């Protein structure tokens, strides 16, 4: 590892990278602070911008958005009692009451410090655990890799919606869409229906703009136009955090960071689960549990450190096995693959300098998030109340410009619109879109490994049950399916009782 650190540092500390980190952190904070806009939407909108970049600045930009998104959601949660992102909901429970006590700046500072600690802790875990997991991943063959893909897809399909069956249908649809274009092994065209532009396949960014961004615009039809009025005079307190409060925060921050890392490593779980789990743990372990829900500093610290501790941890299965922990990092996987960086041990050896630069960069992202949070909090707070009338057309223009810029043609914009319509229908049929995203990202890898494994075995499917790793993953898939089905049944029986 040490042999990569020095060259990686050299690659990382360039003016271009620092600039893109800061742009990413700024955009991520702004998007997450605005209720209704999500981090995944932000990453999708700006993914085409990274197409013209090399791996390090592109990933730094996206990681900046991703990490700052973890903190940005807490701004509106604290200020207007509306979480900017779903995982900031736990922060809201204590953040807003503390704000109402006239300590808005203090609440925002606690959220920022806890987020930064969680983020850096998670980045260090990635730095130390990533290469170790990659060594195990290096022992996997094509059949095992296929099982890994199935494992990732099954979990995401299982946890993404109300029904696991519908999640699987979505995943199959995503995988099928990834088949459009030339066959990865023979180059014959597939499902192109005589349209020559489809020969190169559908661009991921274009599909995602339709599936996640434009459909959100269409969903404005379902919502009322909310006016979010923010009184900016309320953030003019001194923001002092006492020594006693720092002491009280220390334990929940550390414990929640560990929980965040552990939750983040498991595919399918995410920042929301980590923040709620940590919040409850902190409450149970606190000497002042009665303060929770009434502006407890421990509550804010626990929730925020946990949701940012997820960021680096989700990259561990992504970079080592190619399993994205959630939708946002799945998009990052595609950004990596565009630059020829394929997950696995080779990423940490042959591309070691770049990989270590990205992992070290995650620490830097958190440092800049702290600096921007310290000096730009008032600005982030003001964007919370940007009216929907202004935001909506701007997002549409970004979507269209982004889709057009991929190949500089209107065909892609049309494809994005078709995907928006498809996503609207899927939403009506209650089919979750995240498994489709995962199917699109993992499609090529899944198919290639599936076919190579069958080629090795001369067409015999027994190869998928032949090695210890295959059996381990098969057992894991069955256990995951069992746990998900049991969880859903419990959820339904609780709903019926209610």
Partner 1 sequence: MKQWVEQFNGRMDAWGRKLHEKEIRIPIDLVTGLVFALFALAILLVMPDQVAVSEKDVVNGRAFPTLLMTVMLLCCAMLIGKELYKLATKQPLNWKVINIQVEAKALVILGILLGTYFLSKWTGLFVVGAVFCCLGFLLYFRCRKKSYYVITLVIAVAIWAAFRFALGVDF
List contacts with partner 1 (CB under 8 A): 49, 52, 163, 165-166, 168-169, 172-173, 175-176, 179, 183, 185-186, 188-193, 214, 217-222, 225, 387-390, 392-394, 396-398, 400-401, 404-405, 408, 410, 413-414, 417, 420-421, 424, 428-431, 446-447, 450-451, 454-455, 458-459
Under 8 Å between Cβ of 50 and 335: yes
Burial of 18 (0-12, 13-18, 19+ CB in 10 A): middle
Identify which of residues 209 and 303 has a Cβ nearer to partner 1 in the complex: 209
Smaller CB separation from partner 1, 172 or 338: 172
Q: Which is nearer to partner 1, 102 or 387 (CB)?
A: 387
CB nearer partner 1, residue 246 or residue 411: 411
CB of 121 to partner 1, least distance (A): 36
Cβ-in-10-Å burial (0-12, 13-18, 19+) of 476 comes to middle
Instruction: Give the tokens for residue 107.
Output: 């609440």
Query: Token pair for residue 170?
Result: 């979505």
Please give the DSSP secondary-structure letter assigned to residue 231. -
Compute the least distance from the CB of residue 183 to partner 1, in Å. 4
By C-beta, is 114 or 420 nearer to partner 1? 420
| Distance (Å, whole) CA 172 – CA 167 | 9
Smallest gap, in angstroms, from Cβ of residue 387 to partner 1? Answer: 7
Report phi then psi at 181, rounded to 5: 115, -160
| Shortest CB 477 distance to partner 1, Å | 13
Question: CA 406, CA 400: separation in Å to the nearest integer?
Answer: 10
Least distance from C-beta 104 to partner 1, angstroms? Answer: 27
| C-beta closer to partner 1: residue 184 or 239 | 184
Q: How far is the CB of 480 from partner 1 (least distance, A)?
A: 16
Q: To the nearest whole angstrom, how small is the minimum distance from the Cβ of residue 220 to partner 1?
A: 6
How far apart are alpha carbons 230 and 99 in whole angstroms?
A: 12
Q: What is the DSSP letter of 287?
A: S
Closest CA to 34 of 395, 400, 367, 303: 395
Task: Give the dihedral sign, CA 28/34/40/42.
Answer: negative
Tokens describing residue 154: 């099954």
Q: How far is the CB of 446 from partner 1 (least distance, A)?
A: 8
Smallest separation (angstroms) from partner 1 to the CB of 458? 6
Closer to partner 1 by Cβ: residue 410 or 465: 410
Closest CA to 175 of 450, 438, 461: 438
d(CA 168, CA 146): 16
Q: Which of 135/492 has CB closer to partner 1?
A: 492
Lookup: tokens for 490 = 């419990």
192 vs 385, beta carbon nearer partner 1: 192
Residue 124, token pair as written in the block: 């260090």
Query: Of 127 and 176, which CB lies nearer to partner 1 in the complex structure?
Result: 176
> Could you tell me how many residues make up the chain?
498
CB of 428 to partner 1, least distance (A): 7
452-456: long-range pairs with CB below 8 Å, 24+: 452/142, 453/141, 453/142, 453/143, 453/146, 456/142, 456/143
| Cα→Cα distances 224→67, 154, 220, 384, 385, Å | 30, 35, 8, 17, 15
């Amino acid at each position: 590892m040490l042999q990569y650190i020095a060259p990686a540092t050299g690659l990382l500390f360039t003016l271009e990278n620092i600039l893109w980190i800061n742009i990413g952190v700024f955009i991520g904070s702004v998007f997450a602070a605005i209720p209704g806009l999500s981090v995944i939407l932000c990453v999708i909108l700006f993914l085409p911008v990274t197409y013209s970049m090399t791996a390090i600045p592109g990933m730094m930009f996206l990681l900046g958005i991703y990490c700052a998104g973890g903190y940005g959601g807490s701004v509106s949660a604290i200020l207007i009692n509306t979480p900017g992102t779903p995982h900031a909901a736990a922060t809201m429970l204590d953040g807003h009451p503390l704000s109402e006590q006239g300590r808005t700046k203090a609440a925002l500072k606690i959220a920022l410090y806890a987020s930064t600690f969680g983020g850096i802790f998670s980045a260090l875990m990635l730095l130390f655990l990533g290469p170790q997991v990659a060594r195990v991943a290096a022992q996997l063959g094509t059949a095992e890799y296929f099982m890994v893909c199935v494992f990732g897809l099954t979990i995401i399909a299982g946890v993404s919606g109300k029904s696991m069956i519908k999640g699987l249908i979505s995943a199959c649809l995503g995988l099928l869409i990834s088949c459009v274009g030339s066959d990865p092994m023979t180059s014959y065209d597939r499902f192109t229906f005589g349209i020559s532009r489809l020969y190169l396949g559908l661009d991921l960014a274009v599909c995602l703009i339709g599936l996640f961004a434009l459909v959100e615009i269409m969903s404005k039809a379902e919502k009322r136009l909310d006016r979010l009025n923010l009184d900016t005079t309320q953030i003019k307190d001194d923001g002092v955090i006492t020594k006693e409060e720092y002491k009280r925060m220390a334990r929940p921050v550390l414990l929640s960071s560990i929980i965040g890392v552990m939750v983040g490593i498991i595919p399918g779980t995410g920042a929301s689960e980590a923040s709620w789990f940590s919040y409850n743990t902190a409450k149970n372990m606190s000497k002042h549990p009665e303060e929770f829900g009434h502006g407890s500093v421990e509550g804010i610290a626990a929730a925020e450190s946990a949701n940012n501790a997820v960021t680096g941890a989700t990259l561990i299965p992504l970079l080592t096995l190619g399993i994205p922990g959630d939708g946002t990092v799945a998009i990052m996987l595609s950004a990596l693959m565009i630059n020829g960086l394929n997950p696995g041990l080779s990423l940490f050896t042959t591309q070691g300098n770049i990989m270590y630069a990205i992992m070290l960069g995650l620490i830097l992202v958190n440092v800049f998030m702290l600096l921007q949070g310290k000096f730009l909090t008032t600005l982030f707070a003001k964007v919370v109340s940007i009216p929907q009338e202004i935001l909506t057309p701007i997002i549409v223009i970004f979507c269209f410009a982004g889709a057009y810029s991929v190949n500089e043609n209107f065909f892609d914009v049309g494809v994005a619109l078709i995907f928006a319509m498809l996503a609207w229908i899927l939403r009506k049929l209650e089919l979750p879109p995240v498994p489709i995203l995962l199917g699109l990202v993992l499609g090529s890898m899944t198919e290639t490994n599936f076919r190579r494994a069958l080629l090795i075995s001369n067409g015999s499917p027994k190869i998928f049950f032949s090695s210890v790793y295959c059996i381990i993953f098969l057992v894991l898939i069955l256990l995951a399916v069992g746990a998900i089905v049991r969880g859903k049944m419990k959820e339904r029986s609780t709903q019926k009782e209610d």
